[in-house]
Amino acid sequence: MQRREFIRSSCIACLGLSVGASVLAGCTGTRYAHGTLNNNGMLIDIAEFETRNKGKRPYVVVRHDDLSYPICIYRHEDDTYTALLMRCTHQGVELQVSGDQLTCPAHGSEFDNRGQVMQAPAPEPLRTFPVSVTGTQLFIDLRKQA
């Protein structure tokens, strides 16, 4: 194999690996959970955080027709939860979640899993809601900010 041909085939192989890795990363993606709205908030089964092999998901996202934006619920190491409205505090664009952070596709703001700003231009933290455990469900109080 000539040097030029070797370099070319190596580059193609690297490209294939990087594309494959990004596709796999996307496959591990977001769990969309079902939530039930009542007068004061939303109920979600805690089982939504469980994986098929009895692992725990770090977060789930709940979409509902009656909500303008989805809510991302993070489960922390100490079994506490943070519910975050996925609305960027810069200009109101819906955020994208990946791992322990939410990012804004419009201008690049980033937030951590408790809603704190990690990267401007967002001027303030995300709106959060109180979360309480009631039996096998989480109750997200949508009336007030946490």
Binding site for ligand FES (CB under 6 A): 88, 90-91, 93, 104, 106-109, 121-122
- Per the listing, tokens 């594309």 go with 19
Shortest Cβ 123–ligand FES spacing (Å): 10
The three-state secondary structure class of 69 is coil
Q: Cα separation of 21 and 18, whole Å?
A: 5
Nearer to ligand FES, 44 or 122 (CB): 122
Q: Cα separation of 46 and 48, whole Å?
A: 5
Q: Is the dihedral of CA 111, 116, 121, 123 positive or negative?
A: positive
Nearer to ligand FES, 121 or 130 (CB): 121
Shortest Cβ 85–ligand FES spacing (Å): 13
Shortest Cβ 89–ligand FES spacing (Å): 8
Nearer to ligand FES, 45 or 94 (CB): 94
